[in-house]
Amino acid sequence: MDTAFKGEHLLPGQLGQFFVILAFASALLSTISYYFATTNPDQSDRSWQRIARFSFFTNTVSVIGIGCCLFYIIYTHLFEYHYAWEHSSKSLPVYYIISSYWEGQEGSFWLWGFWQAVLGNILIWKAKSWEKPVMTIVSLSQVLLSSMLIGVAIFGERIGSSPFILLRDAIDLKGTTPIFASRPDLYHNYLSYITDGNGLNPLLQNYWMVIHPPTLFLGFASMVVPFAYAIAGLWQKRYKEWVQPAISYSLFAVMVLGTGVIMGSFWAYESLNFGGFWAWDPVENAALIPWLTLIGAVHVLIVYKNTGHSYFTATFLVLISFVLVLYASFLTRSGILGDTSVHAFTDLGMFWHLVVDVAIFLAISIWLLVIRWKELPISKKEEETYSREFWMFVGSVFLALSCLQLIIVTSIPVWNAIFKTNVAPPNNPVTLYNVFQAGFAVVVTLLAGFTQFLKYKKTDTTRFFITSLVYFVFAGLITALVVYTSGIYHLHIVFTLVMLGAIYSVLANAKVLADAFKGKIKLAGSAVAHIGFGLILVGAVIAAGTSKVVSQNNTGEQYSSEFAKHNDPKENIMLYKNEPVKMGDYVITYLGDSLSMPNHYFKVDYKLMDANGGLKEEFVLKPNSQFNPKMGLVSSPDTKHYLFHDLYTHVTMVPANSGISQPDDGHSETNDDQNYDPPIAHEIAVGDTIRFREGYILLAGLNKKAQVQNIPLTGNDVAVGAKLEVVSHGKTYDAEPVYMIKNGSAFDFARKVEDAGLKLRFSKIIPEKGKVEISVYQQPESKKAYIVMKAIQFPYINFFWSGTIIMVIGFLLSIFRRNKELKTV
């Protein structure tokens, strides 16, 4: 009985669950009504359409309702709900509550459904005669997304996973927690034992994680629109008209998805420690695959619109792009990637649900293509060899092929599951992907270059050869210069060729852009987008190809001849606190750590010296580590950005006890001494110095009126302080250990100089010699505070980021242009 549990708030969850069911039911009704509205022979009868619209609006309201309930639950820390307990905690700032929304699969499905609802409303408003068939498909997709959130068992199988499941239903509290096992009478009051949630994965506590998932999911969601238009075109036999709106929506989808992907890459660069901006991780590939096919689709759609060629390819690429979006969500959410991805994907028991999702849309696509096959306007006439459409077509085919390579390799676990094999992923997937994808990029960029000099239908060959050749030679010269100065020629030859292709593409499109300014303004969008794409490749090849580990370190001890023989690169450098180390052109010093919960920052000072040893530049980087009870230590880098390169630093290891320097409480003296080497006693007079491993100590004077806190002196008591100046690594610290005679007994009060790793005792006064005895305790090397870190230099990475921005501007210009041409009826 629900009421048996104390302190639970069941209303928000019940309301949320009601909205979940309503969202599913209304989407289903909307799909059915739109279907009948489309197939109704009497098109003046608007009753089906009215029902369909009403149910889609209901769906939109329900989706928003789900979002509000979930927000309320997380915001008010209702940990009786599994989602809130799993993904948030009380200490989470409000803006990260938004991120905790999509840490779980349910939240990200909701986000997807939300965007799809928004797009559906735009289509109802804008699509006119296309509304009925297009919305049939969009609603169907909404049915499947809503079904992922149901979380109700039907015939013994749980369908979907609801974000409103209670903690006590999701986890067997009685069985797994000893308290309730031994004292079942306490169970009704379980909530008072759960004081906080699990908290948000520290890596997601980043501002990019607030905006990257919404952008990415808007991109995924908007891919359904061109798909729906392509299906509607086949269904309604309107083979020509669907293309124009599909171009606009496809451009929107590739723009948003591309931005989302690069935002993810920027997040990885800023807050993950894999040391780069792209790692060909299955998750990244999953987002890139549909992007590549839809980019190809945009090009052939334009070809089809302008020349009537390539109808089948255009339709096929649009259809497959959306199916691949669904396939990507199957890959990343079903748990099939298992051992091959470091990402801890869960199997929420939705494996077959996700398979069905892919299968439904794949089946619809194939079925419609088959039954309409004979009618399809496939042109029987060959394209001219010297025509723009032919080479745009070739380029799109190569984009699809590069995508094929990504699919084949990323899907290895899928092949294993289907064919019952046990093939491991490539040993060095990054190199493999880099080389293959670079090969395709060479072809695609060269095509994106010289195709600009071709015209639709037919081109004057002589002029074409002269212009494209002139630009090619020019690009070759620049490439030679870039390749030589950046050192790319050390890499595989294919990267030099990519550079050539990218630069050629930038130059050729710069010419188009120049023409655009002279009046052919229509062409500006594609030119700008192509320039952006070229710059992205230039930046990626230089930054990733010539990034250099600055923290090279070959001072380590050799462990075995076997180990030494291979001379593996040593990429981590160890820094003791306050001991400067030379690293490349820099002198770096670990200054210390500071704690600002839950982040643990390590301050590393960088000094750049010029040839004469003068200080050119100095800055402090603060890479951090976050200790998370769930994930252990999670390190995030800190990066110094320059215009032409970035210096990237992250902590790879900190000693387990490093922590925060404990306050010196002066107690447990004997224990404390174990942290130091055996003391060395020095007899010295005022003005003398004592040498130690990392500097010297000067006895500046004696303070006859030393005070020790809380110990009042009476009668014959004496307290003398030794004024010591400790000089270590160019810094001076003062310390004053005290020697005291109280009630006839001698005491002394040691002082520590943490930064120099010293403890100093004023252990004796020797009046006959006029000297004092100072005992020096030195920390052994291993007890000193240190960090192990890695620093990487990324040259010209700003090309990569700025190329992205330029490409997005290009897409925007193209969308404006296509929308102007759009006259929907």
Residue of 163, 161, 195, 188 whose CA lies nearest to 174:
188
Report if residue 404 touches another protein, rule: CB under 8 A.
yes
CA distances, 613 to each of 169, 204, 616, 663 (Å): 67, 42, 9, 38
Report if residue 657 touches another protein, rule: CB under 8 A.
no
Report if residue 689 touches another protein, rule: CB under 8 A.
no
Mention every residue, 6+ apart, whose C-beta is less than 8 A from residue 429: 280, 409
Q: How far is the CB of 349 from another protein (least distance, A)?
A: 12
Mention every residue, 6+ apart, whose C-beta is less than 8 A from residue 471: 449, 450, 453, 504, 507, 508, 511
Q: Which of residues 334-353 bind another protein (CB under 8 A)?
A: 339, 342, 344, 346
Report if residue 822 touches another protein, rule: CB under 8 A.
no
Report if residue 47 touches another protein, rule: CB under 8 A.
no
Report if residue 167 touches another protein, rule: CB under 8 A.
yes
For helices 282-307 and 388-410, the axis angle rounded to 10 degrees is 160
Give the interface segment with another protein, choosing from 157-165, 229-237, 403-411, 676-684 (CB under 8 A).
Answer: 403-411
Report if residue 417 touches another protein, rule: CB under 8 A.
no
- In our burial notation (b when 16+ CB lie closer than 10 A, e otherwise), range 389-407 reads bbbbbbbbbbbbbbbeebb
Nearer to another protein, 631 or 711 (CB): 631
Nearer to another protein, 105 or 804 (CB): 105
Q: Which of residues 350-389 bind another protein (CB under 8 A)?
A: 380-383, 385
Report if residue 467 touches another protein, rule: CB under 8 A.
no
Give the interface segment with another protein, choosing from 420-428, 466-474, 640-648, 751-759 (CB under 8 A).
Answer: 420-428
Residue of 190, 159, 137 whose CA lies nearest to 5:
190
Give the interface segment with another protein, choosing from 224-232, 418-426, 589-597, 734-742 (CB under 8 A).
Answer: 418-426
Q: How far is the CB of 39 from another protein (least distance, A)?
A: 31
Distance CA 492, CA 487 (A): 11
Binding mask 102-131 for another protein (x = CB under 8 A): ------------------------------
Nearer to another protein, 406 or 797 (CB): 406
Residue of 27, 162, 175 whose CA lies nearest to 82:
162
CA 579 to chain centre: 34
Report if residue 83 touches another protein, rule: CB under 8 A.
no
Distance CA 688, CA 776 (A): 14
Report if residue 700 touches another protein, rule: CB under 8 A.
no
Inter-residue contact 377 to 311 (CB < 8 Å): yes
Give the interface segment with another protein, choosing from 152-160, 215-223, 298-306, 553-561 (CB under 8 A).
Answer: 553-561
Report if residue 564 touches another protein, rule: CB under 8 A.
no
Q: How far is the CB of 315 from another protein (least distance, A)?
A: 17
Residue type, 584: G
Binding mask 191-220 for another protein (x = CB under 8 A): -xxxxx-x--x-------------------
645 phi, psi to nearest 5 deg: -160, 165
Q: What is the largest CA-CA distance in the chain?
A: 121
Three-state DSSP class for residue 706: coil
Distance CA 613, CA 642 (A): 22
Query: HEC string of 601-648?
Result: EEEEEEEEECCCCCEEEEEEECCEEEEECCCEEEEECEEEECCCEEEE
Report if residue 788 touches another protein, rule: CB under 8 A.
yes
Q: How many CB atoms lie within 10 A of CB 788?
A: 16
Nearer to another protein, 255 or 406 (CB): 406
Report if residue 57 touches another protein, rule: CB under 8 A.
no
Binding mask 615-644 for another protein (x = CB under 8 A): --------------xxxxxxx---------
Report if residue 572 touches another protein, rule: CB under 8 A.
yes
Q: How far is the CB of 103 from another protein (least distance, A)?
A: 10
Inter-residue contact 304 to 243 (CB < 8 Å): yes
- Contacts with another protein by CB under 8 A: the residue count is 74
Nearer to another protein, 421 or 668 (CB): 421
Report if residue 76 touches another protein, rule: CB under 8 A.
no
| Binding test (CB under 8 A) with another protein, winner from 19, 24, 81, 85 | 85
Report if residue 414 touches another protein, rule: CB under 8 A.
no
Report if residue 4 touches another protein, rule: CB under 8 A.
no
